[in-house]
Structure 1
Amino acid sequence: MAAQETEIKSSASIIPCFLFVELVLMAGTVILSYHFEYTDTFPVHSQGFFCYDSTLSKPYPGPESTSRPPPRLLYPLITVLPVLTILLGEVSAVFINPRWRTKEKIISCGDCCFFNPLLRRVVRILGLFSFGLFCTVIFAGAVQTVTGNQAPHFLSVCRPNYTALGCMSHLQYVSSPYACTGDPELITEARKAFPSKPAALGAYAAVYTTMYVTLVLKIKGSRLVKPSLCLALLSPSWLLCLLRVAEYRNHWRDVLAGTVVGSAIAVFLVTCVLNNFGSSTPEEKELQQKEEDEVPIPENLHPPAREKLSVVQDCGTPSSNVT
């Protein structure tokens, strides 16, 4: 049977929409995330504390660069690993899945611009992944700025003068914004604990990639390859959360909130925007399953063997009405 030719669909709005809508939104999220991450455009809320609060008196673990998962390792892992996984999955689908060309269409914009289906799909998936990363940074940074919740080592960098503050008991609350005498930069960073931004980014990347592996990749012959791959993708995110708590950089509730934020953004983008990466509908999956189950019966089998094989194929299928 001859292969079906790939259809060409004409669209005059794909380039203007990409240039004047999608790029503008992406640029806006990048600029806003930059202001939350590297500038003091949005001042952090100065939340008070209780005198001698043991939950905020943990030792200072040092700057982020001295962490066990340092930023130079964490952020490339969050970005490079999902990108490589998606690229490998999309390129493999072109060669493995013979029906791929019937699902995606070449889009022409005018007489000279033709957009390859593989390129369009990769740009759509990776572009939305990048957009979600910046949205995660913005959302986590906004919540940190509004709440101003302190890290477990807050009092170690704050260095309050309890005598001048008149602290007589553990129940006394200090609300003065000038109670701290330590380094202002360290104090500001210690007020950005809830939710944990590294935990949110790690959860977003892990859940997005795991959903891609679960919904798109087709691995035949083994039921353990796909779950094992998903667990391998989720494990670094869990390990990151444990290390953030163990190093006194975040409370357990901070990493839990960050994980919920990142996972929710990933699930929303995949299900509501990407429509589960354009995976097959239930009818298409049922048709594919039927075709996979239809094993031809060899002609050289003996009659008893042919009868047994026919019974195995018909097992579980509804019987036809007999007139």
Structure 2
Amino acid sequence: MSSLRPGSVSDTTPLQRFESQSSSSEEPSSPTAASIIAAASAASVTTANHNNNNVKLDLQLPTFVGSSLGNHGGGSMGAANSKLPLRGPRQIFGRILMDLCLLSCVGLPMLGFSLYGEPVKLGFFCNDSSLRHPYKDSTMRSWMLYLICGALPASMMLLVEFFRAQDSRLHGPFQKHRLGSGYHLCHLELPFWLLECYRKIGIFVFGLGVEQLTTNIAKYAIGRLRPHFYTLCQPVMLDGTTCNDPINAGRYIEDFTCAAMDITSKRLKDMRLSFPSGHASFACYSMLYMAIYLQRRMHWNRLRMLRHLLQFLLLMFAWYTALSRVSDYKHHWSDVLAGSGIGLTYAVVVTCSMW
């Protein structure tokens, strides 16, 4: 039996013994998971005792994500999951309720203006030709405006956010949209793109409410008469005279009644809400918001021309809506200009922090 040198046993690590066994004529047995882990621990101990032997073993164990997202995870995925604790239906509905309360801060005043508000009653001059235009139906009906400026932007944001989530080129492998949103409902975790849609649409709706509230405040505070005022109202003074009588030429009339028999109280109230244009502010806000949104969120190079085409169509719709309010004699040109300015300003302010 050959003599053993001192320290020869301690200088041989389990990995070296495994390699010597592989080089011999004997066929080594297949290593198990326990043997690999034991080899790794023995290698770390041997490295600490003998600085000359630089043995390093890095084991990539599989990542297991449990129901708590992070309690059983490992590696970078487990670290990322630990930052996203699951929130149940209570947190979901709590957040929705809070957002609805914030929206009610602008929605309830608008409802109050519509039901109980009375505009300021301004007078007029009988020789004011800007108030003698005929009455015409609106080219851009209210339901068309709500559909194109409300439902269409929401649908476009859903599509863009969904396809952004499917495009791996826009995100890294461990981005939070691949791990989910952190909210679960009925034992299913909501995808991150759905949370992004909720955020973007919520900001859009809140900005729209603030913009419309600003427009309504101006409408009721100014009380400007619409261009079709004479045609719709046919004013009669308290002394029974009309604007056709020479006595009223050049007079500023404040006390009058409408002689038209078919005029309703709603139309009589709407007759004084010319400044600013609500249709123009609504359309300009929605369309500019969507144009900026597409510029910042639609990043596919092959669809760049399509993005520019959509932006052009959106802005042209806002432009046409504003022009139609003048051609339909619903507003004066200054009303449309002011309404467009309000909508464009709020669209820029709301989207300035969008990424």
Note the alpha carbon deviations across 1:283-317, whole angstroms, 9 max, x for none.
xxxxxxxxxxxxxxxxxxxxxxxxxxxxxxxxxxx
CA distance in 2, matches of 1:93, 1:109: 20
CA distance in 2, matches of 1:110, 1:234: 38
Q: Which has the higher contact order (CA 8 A, sep 6+)?
A: 1
**CA distance change for structure 1 residues 113 and 32 in 2, over 3 Å: closer, same or farther?**
farther
**CA distance change for structure 1 residues 75 and 222 in 2, over 3 Å: closer, same or farther?**
closer
- The answer on 1:25 being equivalent to 2:102 is yes
Superposed, which structure 2 residues align to 1:73-112 within 5 Å? Answer: 73-100=144-171, 102=175, 104=177, 106-108=180-182
Task: Indicate the SS of the match to 1:9.
Answer: coil
Paired residue type of 1:35 = G
**CA distance change for structure 1 residues 95 and 115 in 2, over 3 Å: closer, same or farther?**
closer
The aligned residue for residue 351 of structure 2 is 270
CA distance in 1, matches of 2:325, 2:168: 42
The aligned residue for residue 225 of structure 1 is 306
Could you tell me how far 1:110 is from its partner in structure 2?
A: 9.8
- Of residues 142, 157, 182, the one that matches 1:71 is 142
TM-score by length of 1: 0.72
Query: Which ranges in structure 2 are unaligned for 5 or more consecutive residues?
Result: 1-75
Task: Indicate the SS of the match to 1:81.
Answer: helix
Contact 2:184-2:190 at 8 Å conserved across structures: no
CA distance in 1, matches of 2:156, 2:96: 27
Note the alpha carbon deviations across 1:88-129, whole angstroms, 9 max, x for none.
111111122434362656454799785532121110011121
**CA distance change for structure 1 residues 206 and 56 in 2, over 3 Å: closer, same or farther?**
same
Task: Indicate the SS of the match to 1:86.
Answer: helix
The aligned residue for residue 199 of structure 2 is 124
The aligned residue for residue 319 of structure 1 is none
Paired residue type of 2:251 = Q
CA distance in 2, matches of 1:239, 1:179: 35
Note the alpha carbon deviations across 1:24-82, whole angstroms, 9 max, x for none.
11234333323333x1x111110111122101111122xxxx42222232211111211
Could you tell me how far 1:10 is from its partner in structure 2?
A: 3.7
Contact 2:164-2:170 at 8 Å conserved across structures: no
Contact 1:219-1:225 at 8 Å conserved across structures: no
**CA distance change for structure 1 residues 97 and 231 in 2, over 3 Å: closer, same or farther?**
farther
**CA distance change for structure 1 residues 243 and 59 in 2, over 3 Å: closer, same or farther?**
same
Deviating more after overlay: 46-55 vs 101-110: 101-110
Q: Which structure is larger by alpha-carbon Rg, 1 or 2?
A: 2
Superposed, which structure 2 residues align to 1:132-281 within 5 Å? Answer: 132-161=207-236, 164=241, 168=247, 170-176=249-255, 178-182=256-260, 183=263, 184-221=265-302, 224-271=305-352, 275-276=353-354, 279=355
CA distance in 1, matches of 2:270, 2:184: 52
Contact 2:139-2:324 at 8 Å conserved across structures: yes
Superposed, which structure 2 residues align to 1:30-45 within 5 Å? Answer: 30-37=107-114, 39=115, 41-45=116-120
Could you tell me how far 1:197 is from its partner in structure 2?
A: 0.7
The CA RMSD measured in Å over matched residues stands at 3.0
Contact 2:289-2:348 at 8 Å conserved across structures: yes
Contact 1:36-1:138 at 8 Å conserved across structures: no
CA distance in 1, matches of 2:300, 2:148: 25
CA distance in 2, matches of 1:228, 1:16: 38
CA distance in 2, matches of 1:170, 1:256: 30
CA distance in 2, matches of 1:210, 1:170: 50
CA distance in 2, matches of 1:152, 1:220: 48
**CA distance change for structure 1 residues 143 and 167 in 2, over 3 Å: closer, same or farther?**
farther
Query: Which ranges in structure 1 are unaligned for 5 or more consecutive residues?
Result: 280-323
**CA distance change for structure 1 residues 185 and 108 in 2, over 3 Å: closer, same or farther?**
closer
The aligned residue for residue 128 of structure 2 is 53
Could you tell me how far 1:168 is from its partner in structure 2?
A: 3.6
Count of equivalent residues:
265
